[in-house]
Amino acid sequence: MTTVSRRDRLTDLAALVLLLAGIALYLDAGARMRTISGYSYRHPGPPGESQLAAADRARAESYGGLGLAAFGIVVGVGSALRHARGAPRVVLN
């Protein structure tokens, strides 16, 4: 069995952090959108901020979270491929 280098472990950790940060951003944006959907004529939300502008910012945050999570997945798959390429082949008869 081959040993895993420090660089490989740090790459895996970076992939995990990117994925979790993307998920957190996406969930935060979803919570903002649910808050914005509760605004009404009587309760329009914070003064000086339009609902459309707030929704646009939440949408951009959501897309950023999805992009960050996708990048984390790409880093993780790339790391796994590099692990597989460096691992010795075991042939069972």
Region 9-25: what's the mean pLDDT? Answer: 97
- HEC profile of 29-90: HHHHHHHHHCCCCCCCCCCCCCHHHHHHHHHHHHHHHHHHHHHHHHHHHHHHHHHHHHCCCC
pTM of the model: 0.82
Residue 88 pLDDT grade (very low, low, confident, very high; cuts 50, 70, 90): low
Residue 90, pLDDT score: 64
pLDDT at 93 over 90: no
Domain ranges of the chain: 8-86
pLDDT at 2 over 80: no
